[in-house]
Amino acid sequence: MNCLLNTAVKRRIHDINRVTFHVPVPHPTRLLAEHDLFYVTKGSFVIEAGGQLIRAERDDVVLLPAGVRHRGTENCEADTRTLWMLLEAEAGDAFDETGTGEKTEDLLPLPLIIDASGRPEILHMFENILLYWVSGEKNRASAAVTLLLYQLNELGGTAERPPLAEKIRQEVLLNLNRKITNEQLAAGVGKSVKTVEAAFRKRYGVTVHQYVMTEKLKRSCVYLTYFPHMPVRDIAEELGFYDEFHFSRLFKKAYGVSPSIYRKKKDQPG
């Protein structure tokens, strides 16, 4: 089964946010006027939609089409988390129950579940769309959604589950908002610290700690650019640095300027 989405029109967002299901509950039974697109960042869901049973786990992307009733058939895991968006149903959108609809110039077919493991850029795109949305950049968010849909179409649910180093990297990307230790990462993937460190360095050529710091600083650039009124100390706290001074010292070492000067340069036209 596929959902056919019209790419010839501006894809509008109705709402977007995160949600955590702290206790095991089934996915709500609903019939929405919008497409429900969400990324499972932790836990799992079992949902029936249009006669298809969807077993979604971490790093799966689920698309519940507008006008198609869906319901949870089992309780989710405790603390299941998703990053979700409701997309306006546009003229030309359709639900293809046979799943045989082909991609045309304007219609993009997407399966109801897509395995995005091993492709951390998909989660990054969800994150960026949320940042654009909350910062009031609705047009930019809309453009990013269209790009995301094309990326999901290319995946088509065929991506393989990632090797150990990729799992470690995903653990890092999902936990950039806190202090991350190698012991915590090892527990998250069920391996020893020594195995985690060796596998990661062999695959990426850097230590886990170096990669964590690099990704935290990259994320800080997004906050500095799109959240101009967010204090530097709050950014440091949000990303799990020890304090503002620790963050500023590492930022200047990486980019040659302080976070404040970097923000001012981004605010200048041209």
Q: Residues 6 or more apart from 102 whose CB is under 8 A from it?
A: 109
Q: What is the CATH number of domain 2-155?
A: 2.60.120.10
| Residue listed under structure tokens 């890092």 | 172
Domain map of the chain by residue range?
Answer: 2-155, 164-267
pLDDT at 229: 87
- Whole-Å CA distances, 63 to 4, 128, 162, 243, 249: 11, 19, 22, 39, 42
pTM: 0.59
Residue 158: predicted pLDDT? 45
Fold classified for 164-267? Arc Repressor Mutant, subunit A (1.10.10)
Q: Looking at residue 105, what is its pLDDT?
A: 61
What is the pLDDT, as a whole number, of residue 159?
42
- Taking only the tens of pLDDT, the chain with its 270 residues reads 789 998 888 889 999 999 999 999 999 899 999 999 999 999 888 899 988 889 898 899 999 999 999 999 889 988 999 999 999 999 889 887 654 545 456 788 899 999 988 788 999 999 999 999 999 998 999 999 989 998 998 887 444 456 788 888 878 887 787 788 889 888 877 788 898 899 899 888 999 999 999 999 998 998 898 888 889 999 999 898 989 999 999 999 999 999 999 998 876 654
Q: How far apart are alpha carbons 58 and 127 in whole angstroms? A: 16
